[in-house]
């Protein structure tokens, strides 16, 4: 379920207020109990609206609140500066088709396990039987060597934060953030 909004929650008469908010919250919590992901796509720069929906993001596991591409790219960069957040990744998240771990990339640093899964998704796809990407917790050097090869085989991507073309993964930053390759 994708909800796009540019303003505060209103009822069908356009009324706002505590009662309307409670009704919306109740309906949203009912949806959140179902086997469905809820994407709230904010189409506003109003802090008040962002705060309302971001509080829901933290309360329900099945809800992901997304800002515009530029704001999301910056939030992802703050937590995962090694990743080039592309418009394609943003569209995947907006559509609700992104793996659940991608919900967290703008809220916190990804775990090494999530980094590994993201790299498999980006570079190898679901059928990764032709190439083995070692897990960084099992074989750091093997992971870095294999990932370096995969990154070099891909075209560079537009990095909206750096405002230039960059690889999907900044290997030096990844090594630094996760202290990989350090004995």
Cβ within 8 Å of residue 26, ≥6 positions away: none
Looking at mean pLDDT, say which of 5-19, 127-141, 148-162 comes out highest: 148-162
- Of the candidates 96, 100, 101, 125, the one whose C-alpha atom is nearest the C-alpha of residue 115 is 101
DSSP 92: H
Q: pLDDT tens across 40-95, in order?
A: 888 888 888 888 887 777 777 778 889 899 999 999 999 999 999 999 999 999 99
pLDDT score of 131: 75
* CA dist., res. 181 & res. 24, Å (int): 49
Residue 163 belongs to what H/E stretch? none
What CA–CA distance (Å, rounded) separates 101 from 107? 11
pLDDT, residue 46, reads: 81
Percent of the chain with pLDDT over 70: 97
Residue 30 pLDDT grade (very low, low, confident, very high; cuts 50, 70, 90): confident
pLDDT digits (tens, 9 = 90+) for 84-117: 999 999 999 999 888 888 888 999 999 999 999 9
pLDDT at 129: 63
Average pLDDT, the chain: 89
What is the spatial distance between Cα 43 and Cα 47, in angstroms, rounded to a whole number? 12
């Amino acid at each position: 379920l994708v909800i796009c909004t540019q303003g505060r929650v209103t009822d069908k008469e356009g009324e706002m207020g505590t009662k309307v908010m409670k009704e919306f919250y109740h309906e949203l919590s009912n949806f959140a109990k179902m086997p469905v992901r809820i994407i709230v796509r904010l189409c506003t720069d109003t802090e008040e609206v962002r705060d309302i929906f971001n509080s829901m993001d933290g309360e329900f596991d099945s809800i992901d609140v997304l800002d515009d591409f530029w704001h999301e790219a910056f939030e992802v960069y703050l937590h995962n500066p090694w990743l080039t957040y592309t418009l394609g990744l943003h569209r995947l998240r907006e559509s609700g088709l992104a793996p659940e771990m991608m919900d967290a990339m703008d809220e916190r640093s990804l775990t090494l396990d999530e980094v590994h899964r993201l790299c498999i998704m980006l570079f190898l796809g679901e059928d990764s039987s032709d190439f083995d990407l070692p897990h960084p917790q099992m074989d750091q050097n093997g992971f870095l060597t294999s990932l370096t090869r995969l990154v070099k085989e891909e075209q560079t991507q537009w990095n909206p934060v750096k405002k230039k073309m960059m690889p999907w993964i900044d290997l030096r930053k990844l090594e630094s953030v996760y202290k990989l390759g350090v004995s």
